[in-house]
Amino acid sequence: MKLYLDPPLLGKVNMARDLEFVEKAAETASAYVRIYSWQRPTISLGHFQKPEKVLNFPALEKHNIDWVKRPTGGRSVFHFREITYSVALPVDYPGLPSSVTEAYRFISEPIYKAFVQAGLPVKWARQEENFSEACFLAPARHEIMLQGKKIVGSAQRRKAKSVLQHGSILLDAQPRIFAECLLGVDQENFIDQLRKKTMVIPVRAVELQKCLMEQFRTFFV
């Protein structure tokens, strides 16, 4: 297993690094794990989202926010202050399920254990429907919850020979700016729902990074 703790990078560089590692996972039959952050506030869109239908470009310019397409699916994510992880595995990695939802659980297991190690009483989520453009507004099955709120937003892409999963762990939030940067949303309701359904983790970033690295090292070989 190769584990990387990267400095803050631009959104396009972060996504290129994740794609690089999913290719390497296929070529080398090894696991690649990254823990990283973002040099500038950035909204990432799921692979199938159309920017012109989702983003309010004048608001992005007003708030000096970048945007980028992810190689994975899912909805929009506002990367502000957070810990981001990515895991790239060969499809025949020992124990990796073939089902997407079960693979979520498998890859998220060391993240769950890192939260427990950091003293957070987390639980696994059940599937909820999400009709919003925001990833964090509904947990998928096997995502991680704290006090009934989603604290990790993850997305996955499966290629012929490898699997990529990456996700965000919130250290801070700017729901009003996020709402303003999206088209076709009831901004006040959107802000209210984000505040009700998501939360910033009550633990220091350095401490959680340490726990994540320990658990990833233990779980992936």
- Residues annotated as part of the active site: 135
d(CA 155, CA 135): 9
Name the phi and psi angles at 179, rounded to 5.
Answer: -60, -40
Q: Is the dihedral of CA 147, 148, 149, 150 positive or negative?
A: positive
d(CA 56, CA 198): 23
d(CA 85, CA 28): 20
d(CA 23, CA 180): 36
CA angle (82, 80, 142) in 5-degree steps: 50
By the 8 A CB rule, do 111 and 83 touch?
Answer: no
Residues 6+ apart with CB under 8 A from 1: 30, 31, 32, 33, 216, 217, 220, 221
d(CA 106, CA 89): 11
